[in-house]
Structure 1
Amino acid sequence: MTDDAPAPDLRASDADREQVAEVLREALAEGRLDMEEFQERLDAVYRARTYGELAPLTRDLPASGAAVAPAVSLTKDPVAGGGWAGRIVGGDDSGTSTWAVAVMSGFQRKGRWTAPRRFNAFAFWGGGEIDLREANFADREVVVNAVAIMGGIDVIVPPGVEVVVRGIGVMGGFDHREEGVPPEPGAPRVIVTGFAFWGGVGVQRKLPRAERQRLREERRREKQALKEERRREHLARAEEQRREHLDAAERHRRELEASRRPHDPLNLHDPLDLHGPRKQHERRAEDD
């Protein structure tokens, strides 16, 4: 921990917990953790409230195959999806990649990269994917110029981004389904333009991978909670049925004992009845 890092008792964010969960998932895939250890640590991740609670969970694990064992970062780095202001870099940043070509092949631009103000893509008898879900943006408005000749290009944007489609298709087409969706405040605008001949340019809106993983984990935890609740309900019903069975058995036993007693309306066979006819007869005999 550096001197200027926040104290371990500061509250951790959802993004911090997802960062630690991703390290655990990679450790599981690499065989560094077994499933039981992974489940225990993952449960601890989502229960954690502070940096101090998160740090021990990855202290003995490398991050993304690194040779050194990292602790959770106590500094606040910009995170994809954590606010649009941190993802629009502006200035003189021209982007980490400005073009892509696929001729009878394919290309991908995905992950953490900076989308330039204008990105040119060409696909001939091939296909390409331009994934902006985790990307930074060189400006508040970026242009994706896609040319697809007997091929296809997919543009993937995260929720909240405004999409404008201006391409021309000849025996092909551009996907306009994501147009008209209201943008989030401060979100960038992505303009998809170009030309499609016997091909197509698709536009899809998808959640970032970390968010999808978080939702899957939430659904998994909800299913586990539901299963646990159903198990408790089943045990409670079983216990109630057991008690009802015992009560019914006890009632049956008492009824059976009562049915085995001799019919004695005058209570002649009751040795404790001091006022019955038999006792009165015995007392008269003693008096004589």
Structure 2
Amino acid sequence: MRASDADRERVAERLRDAVAEGRLDMEEFEERLEAAYTSRTYAELEPLTQDLPSPRASAPAASSASWQSRIGGPAGASSTGPSPTASASAVAIMSGFERKGRWTVPAQFNAVAFWGGGELDLREADFAAREVVITCVAIMGGIEITVPPGVEVDVRGIGVMGGFDQGRSLENRPEPGAPRVIVNGLAFWGGVAVKVKEPKRPKGNGKKLHGGETRKEL
């Protein structure tokens, strides 16, 4: 029987869980994921997860619940309060734009930088959907995207006398339940940089003393 898109996505989800649990390395994961999305029948899909435990036998990771609280826009915000909704686009023409802190990443976001630059920081953001697509157009400009560890990132952009720089930092394992970020678009005489960084830690409440020393308040 021919497989549907939903069947392929279920297999892909099991593969993502398996790589997050350490059952598959990144090379095996990428090979099986590509095979899953190109499979046409159940006979082609079945061997991809035959040596993996069934979904019921695999205990959900603790991080899955934390990601669920951040997916679905403001309704999925944490107890610290809902994140403000943001527009679905950002444009910098001989200027700059910035999206960081608590904001909601829409399912489709467009970013344009022409003779300018932009920064999209997703480390503290909520996500309107399980999968979001960020389309970047950088013409003689640059766009930087920062995602937290555990998020699956798929960079598909095209560079013409420019480039989409994924960096070695993207070699992180996606966590169960984490959102998937697809970055596509065009960089012409410009660049789009995608990197993974830990969320910022809150600054301490220390006071500076003479000589540059810092004293923490107790």
Which interval holds the TM-score relative to the shorter structure? 0.5 to 0.7
Higher relative contact order (CA 8 A, sep 6+): 2
Q: 1 CA distance for matches of 2:158 and 2:172?
A: 21
- Amino acid in structure 2 at the alignment position of 1:88: I
Structure 1 residues not aligned, in runs of 5+: 1-80, 218-288
Partner of 2:66: 83
- Amino acid in structure 2 at the alignment position of 1:193: N
For the 8 Å contact 1:163–1:181, the answer to whether it is kept is no
User: How much has 1:161 moved relative to structure 2?
Assistant: 0.6
In the alignment of these two chains, the number of paired residues is 134
Q: 2 CA distance for matches of 1:82 and 1:103?
A: 40
Change (3 A) 1:92 1:209: closer
Partner of 1:201: 192
For 1:36-55, list aligned pairs within 5 A. none
Partner of 1:139: 129
User: How much has 1:176 moved relative to structure 2?
Assistant: 2.2
Higher helix proportion: 1
Q: 2 CA distance for matches of 1:196 and 1:131?
A: 19
Change (3 A) 1:134 1:97: same
For 1:35-184, list aligned pairs within 5 A. 83-89=66-72, 95-177=85-167, 178-184=169-175
For 1:231-270, list aligned pairs within 5 A. none
Partner of 1:188: 179
For the 8 Å contact 2:88–2:109, the answer to whether it is kept is yes
Structure 2 residues not aligned, in runs of 5+: 1-63, 77-84, 207-218
Identity %: 64
Q: Following superposition, which runs of at least 4 residues in structure 1 exceed 3 angstroms of deviation?
A: 90-93
- Amino acid in structure 2 at the alignment position of 1:133: R
Cα deviation 1:174-222 (Å, max 9, x = unaligned): 01224453201111111110000000000111111136x58xx9xxxxx
TM-score if structure 2 supplies the norm length?
Answer: 0.56
User: How much has 1:96 moved relative to structure 2?
Assistant: 2.2
User: How much has 1:91 moved relative to structure 2?
Assistant: 9.9
Computed over aligned residues only, the root mean square deviation of the Cα atoms, in angstroms, reads 2.7
Q: 2 CA distance for matches of 1:82 and 1:111?
A: 21
- Amino acid in structure 2 at the alignment position of 1:109: R
Q: 2 CA distance for matches of 1:208 and 1:92?
A: 21
Greater gyration radius:
1
For 1:8-19, list aligned pairs within 5 A. none
For the 8 Å contact 2:104–2:127, the answer to whether it is kept is yes
- Amino acid in structure 1 at the alignment position of 2:181: V
For the 8 Å contact 2:170–2:196, the answer to whether it is kept is no
For the 8 Å contact 2:73–2:105, the answer to whether it is kept is no
